[in-house]
Structure 1
């Protein structure tokens, strides 16, 4: 039997969107699995809680200021991780935004901002990470998409977000095929409704009840429930997985 593990000991990772929500949970889980983690987010984002959780568990974390829509900042984030933590071998691109508006009324600026962050930001991040990993001849990247890239959410008017997340799914497959012979795996995870700060605001309380009721498991996911599958796809336990979009949605898309 081949030697494989769910552990990430000795690996070096970069996580975007690491200040909160799914990104924070993933950064902490990667550190708990043994990797050193660069925690990247916007200048105004507070990564201190993510760093505290990692360091409390005995892990190594590096705070990085990075706007994923800025090519130079993304390249610099990868360079800093490699300079201070070692050769980059793992990456998770979790930075993203969501909002809603009817397509007929949506300002172009609103459409463009979602695409700039949720698609172009993932591309720029994965490209910089892939360049480093291809130099080393190994690596694993996970891009955070959404079940909204597979289905259209009832009651949510978000054509820009839905199509952006579909783009992330297919971008991940495309990069997986380009980089397979270079030893770099690329996969995506598509979470269902998850109890992130965006979904626990008082003003969406009623909508959240509906989200839970429409999910077969009758609840939303906790962020750590997205982190576990991410660690799996990063690990050598998933060494024959590339180009996969893993739905982690409590059965929502089975309806």
Structure 2
């Protein structure tokens, strides 16, 4: 199964969910599928692991990264670039928005209400069941409600991002899938896709999953690690 997302897609989630890595890899995946992709970095709260850290690889692949003005690149302020509003007024085939973590990071989305009004948008919550606060169904729902209240937007889909970084095995992927599938069932929100480190894909039984699997090559890594290699050829 292939991921089929287009239009305006907003990625939200709690701190540590891996939402920015998901947003970057989703942008790459859809670009490789032939779509015109733009990615807006609205993570104005967390100073680490923002999508702008992957600017070089995104630019090389022809993905436009929309950023705050240079003077606000490291500011913890809800300042929006006019380019973001312009991107949403006239979205490309896929206009991705990487919002900040938790309700504090999602607050900046409320400033886009006038731009998003009347538009068909997807707001997808990234869930890593191996992180605190989203290791239970109740915790995931609590995070969802807090983000919805802060952003003035309704979450209408789930992304499963089960991982323990370098310690992840296929067993964790399978267990994480079962968790988010149950979350989907209980909340009636569709499970859009799950993720897996690209190197683990051959070890997975893809027929086990009722949704697509996004292969992830980690781009947001600490200085002592190398980012995953991205093949620029179309797939």
More helix per residue: 1 or 2? 1
Query: Larger Cα Rg: Structure 1 or Structure 2?
Result: 1
Q: TM-score, normalised by structure 1?
A: 0.46
Higher relative contact order, chain-length normalized (CA < 8 Å, sep 6+): 2
What TM-score do you get using the length of structure 2 for normalisation?
0.48
